Amino acid sequence: MQPGDILPLEFNPGMVVLSCMIAVLGAYVALLATARIRTARGGAHPGYVVVAAIALGGVGIWGTHFVGMIAQALPFDVAYDLKLNLLSLLVAVGFSGAALWYVGGGPFSARRCLAAGVLAGCGIAGMHYLGVASMRMDAYYEWDLGMVGLSVLIAMAAATVALWLSFSVRRELHRIVAAIVMGAAVCGAHYVAQVAGIMVCTTPRTFRGLQLEGAILPYAVCLISAVTLIVMRIELYRSSEDVRANAALQVDRMLVSRQWEEE
């Protein structure tokens, strides 16, 4: 490729599927935690908010982005700026956590769901464009602002629908559907944003600052995401078992207490 050439937009289908699977699995674990966010007093449980935010923002959004980036065929090596990468992670986790905290922190309503969907959508889109800005390569992006706006709207709309499903239903099948919708929000925003940017080749460029190796980072993110989701799913199952055991113990104590009173 010569300076000024426009790179064709080509993707590896297998990596695209993998990125979508990570998005859905991250959303599924996040929605499992979301179902337990609301406390008996009507507030939001901080522990479950953190778990859901990491699963959705850290894995479902941030992890999907980097797997999605290696799905695009590029004729040169890519590195990533460390500071911008950490900022993109904080944006994804922070906006996801804020959205889940807000929608779970009070009585469920359409207004809360819409506001939370906008927050989550901003997290999805913000993470993507910060992640793109962190790329260190012999090319630059020219943006179609209309497509950029469309990617943001897709993220907001699908995130709102997914949150409505997750707080409105309790059946496992419905939760799976909500996870697929949320995964579609993440992947839809990512790949529409990929179409929104045209990559133009340049002469070799030199960048300052700490950088992460582009050939290793996406695979490392994929592995870390998988391990994180497995650990979170196990811990959520254990916490659920503990809750049921404590509830059963309380019922037994009440029954014993009533028996003593009757005698």
Per-residue pLDDT of the chain (263 residues; tens, 9 = 90+): 677 888 888 888 888 888 888 888 888 877 777 777 765 455 567 777 888 888 888 888 888 887 888 788 888 878 888 888 889 989 988 998 888 888 877 777 888 889 988 998 888 888 889 988 888 888 889 999 998 898 888 888 888 887 887 777 667 777 788 888 888 888 888 888 888 888 888 888 777 777 766 566 656 666 666 666 666 666 566 655 544 444 444 544 554 455 555 55
Contacts of 21 (CB under 8 A, 6+ apart): none
Of 242, 240, 232, 234, nearest to 60 (Cα)?
232
| φ, ψ at 213 (rounded to 5°) | -65, 120
pTM: 0.77
The three-class DSSP label of residue 1 is coil
The three-class DSSP label of residue 80 is strand
**Residue whose pair of structure tokens reads 């419905």 in the numeric block:** 174
197: tokens are 């940017």
**How far is residue 88's CA from residue 125's CA, in Å, rounded to a whole number?**
10
**How far is residue 109's CA from residue 129's CA, in Å, rounded to a whole number?**
30
